[in-house]
Amino acid sequence: MTRPDQPDTEAVEHYLLDLQDRICQALEAEDGAGVFREDAWTRPGGGGGRSRILEDGAVFEKGGINFSHVHGDALPATASASRPELAGRSFQAMGVSLVMHPRNPYVPTSHMNVRFFIAEKPGSEPVWWFGGGFDLTPYYGFDEDVRDWHRSARVACANFGTSEEDAAALHARLKEACDGYFYLKHRAEPRGVGGLFFDDLNHWGFERSFAFMRSVAEQYLPGYRPIVARRKGMPYGAREREFQCYRRGRYVEFNLVYDRGTLFGLQSGGRTESILMSLPPQVSWRYDWQPEPGSAEARLYEHYLVPKDWLAEPD
């Protein structure tokens, strides 16, 4: 029996499985044609998961919503590099991770991830933490969409202020963390317009930390689905599609070079197909390409790929 405020891995797993189900159902309904197919898998070193992939839908060209619960005798290097005291502990890692790549360039790509780690050693208290967040990657931006996305992020933080840090300050800190994390250093540019990012969350205790993870996860659909509904019917042509594929290259670069989840999955012996489901189906690179001055493409760089307080911007 779990002691009060002690980690409850069964409760976390139950929530994550239900979360995956509900998001799949909602995005299938928004697409109207595409259906997620499930691919259950096991990890030779322990654990497994279920990958759900939607391809060639009416709205989503490709989308993946993965659940994984893996365990092993020792944490991989990515998880213990900054905390060497965890080296050699057994571990469990579970989470839901999703990336949705729309067909229409006016619909932004979205990403959400929530996860739980616990590292254990006989005779010692378990060491655990939650992490996650969500971020938005538009190709052609709309202020209304970006503000609504950040409002959802603020709602996720609304009930989690403390005497040391109120909810507004918490939101500002996690927004800044997101801007800092989803940044391509070799390009000196953000991946998108941000959202929320948190990691190593345990100082609130298990129940409150778990509640915050749930609050973040539950704001993904209210933040993203209305944007998809507004933009999915907009007409577009070859120019917009080519720019979308070019900008998707930045997404690939980030995920393969910097993303901690990708590195953890590969180093821990995870299933490669599931780990790399985040990559878009069509992508391109151009040598030293620059947008035409004054164009909609240039506006993405000048107005949207610039960290700012979107909720302070006038409507």
Does 49 carry a binding-site annotation?
no
Does 71 carry a binding-site annotation?
no
Does 186 carry a binding-site annotation?
yes
- Single out the residue of 118, 124, 148, 154 nearest to residue 136, CA to CA: 148
- Single out the residue of 66, 68, 20, 64 nearest to residue 48, CA to CA: 68
Does 132 carry a binding-site annotation?
no
Does 154 carry a binding-site annotation?
no
Does 101 carry a binding-site annotation?
yes
Does 202 carry a binding-site annotation?
no
| 209/128 Cα distance (integer angstroms) | 11
Q: Which residues are catalytic?
A: 111
3-state secondary structure the chain: CCCCCCCCHHHHHHHHHHHHHHHHHHHHHHHCCCCCEEEEEECCCCEEEEEEEEECCCCEEEEEEEEEEEEECCCCHHHHCCCHHHCCCEEEEEEEEEEEEECCCCCCEEEEEEEEEEEECCCCCCEEEEEEEEEEECCCCCHHHHHHHHHHHHHHHCCCCCCCCCHHHHHHHHHHHHHHHCEECCCCEECCCEEEEEEEECCCCHHHHHHHHHHHHHCHHHHHHHHHHHHCCCCCCHHHHHHHHHHHHHHHHHHHHCCHHHHHHHHCCCCHHHHHHHCCCCCCCCCCCCCCCCCHHHHHHHHHCCCCCHHHCCC
Does 111 carry a binding-site annotation?
yes
- Single out the residue of 131, 150, 137 nearest to residue 110, CA to CA: 137
Does 113 carry a binding-site annotation?
yes
The binding site for a divalent metal cation consists of 101, 111, 150, 186
The binding site consists of 97, 101, 111, 113-115, 150, 186, 269-271
The binding site for substrate consists of 97, 113-115, 269-271
